[in-house]
Structure 1
Amino acid sequence: MIDPITASANATATQQAQGLTGAAKSLGKDDFLRLLVAQLQNQDPLKPQDNSTFVAELAQFSSLEQTVAINERLDTLALQNQGLQNSNIVDMVGAMATLRGGTITAEGSGQPVPFGFELAGEAHTVKVTISDFSGNPVRTINVGSRAAGKVTLNWDGKNDQGIVQPKGPYTVSVTATDADGATVDVDQETRGLITAVSFDKGYPVLHLQNGMNAPVGDLLKLER
């Protein structure tokens, strides 16, 4: 048999709890205290709940509230840090960048166009192929043997026939082999003026004057 006093108390507490949860899906400090008071007011006077139960509930809520406050502070700090990083990245506009990649820009005047790459090991033969934006090779340069490390070269802006090529972006492809004919790994570098910075899903992207777009993680060197 159900105790009518207990049933009435439980029904009242349940109704008050439903009213609170209907107003908000998550309970705040005030909601928790109102529920606690309602629970005390509507408990069975013949079978009052143990005080230790309320103490435990208060301790749990206090711990949860502190955790939420810490998380909110961490979120705020993360946003502030991200804003500072974005501001520093935007300040890169106007600087000369050296990045991983093989895109260069010819001025169309026959001026030397610098480019570079890094050899993972000693190379017996190194060949550089420069292609236009459509992928058509315009110049082949046989560099010869090179020691491991960084190599810096200049393209005179001309094709194999000595004709100055039009202004625009070009791609540099480097192949290298050792004395046994095995492939030597090559990391290519490109230089260009940073003209703009954008953000792709929160990640910064550098836009160069030569038409190359690269994530900031590809940045190797910055010069003013």
Structure 2
Amino acid sequence: MSTNRSIRAGLACSILSVSFVATVAGTAQAQIGSGWKSATYTKKIHLDDENGLQTFNWTSYKSVCNPICADYRATGNSETFRILDNRSNRSEIRLYNEYSSGERQFQGYVIFSAPLNDESLFQIFGSTSGATLTMMRGYSDSGGTLRTVGGGGVLATGVYGKEQRINVIHKQDDYVEFYVNGSRKARFSEDEEVTNYWKYGVYGTLRTGAVSVTWRAVQTFTR
């Protein structure tokens, strides 16, 4: 009888272990919807200095200006983007994921704090009416606000210092959707027949003190 109980206990532990592994795996692949396939792309670092936009091959750390006015640092699966003064207006990753059809999804966890205000955190680049189809920007109002520009509106408030899971789905020449922590917060139509690609980090004229944005566990998908 004791042996049977031990066997059952062992089986229960095995089942729990499998469930835990499945949960962890599911968390790692927490994209919105089904049928998505993981996709990876070449990364370039975009930093701005007194001479304008500078593009660098990816490395775990890069800075511009002397003393430093902007830098990028990757540690593990986290990427930190800083603009330190107004000699610079950007620290971004530019993904070489150009596309003109199909569906794409971006997922990542973002955190920023005061005094960041009116800075782009993510953008779908390419438009018939300007450079960018849409941006997700961070603002200082309401304790830190996430808002889209180019359609959508306010995504979340009270986010200063609080990591948010962001998913962006773009069905090219059809619609864009923004999700925060798994909930859809914006959806708008688009019918621009252009080539798009993505950038994330921090971008915009600095009107405050130094700002820092961290993106963690960025993943990209297609279907």
Q: Same fold (TM over 0.5)?
A: no
- Structure (1/2) with the larger strand percentage: 2
Q: Taking CA–CA contacts closer than 8 Å with sequence separation of 6 or more, which of the two structures ends up with the larger relative contact order? A: 2
The structure carrying a bigger helix percent of its residues is 1
Give the number of the structure whose alpha-carbon radius of gyration is greater.
Answer: 1
TM range (shorter): under 0.3
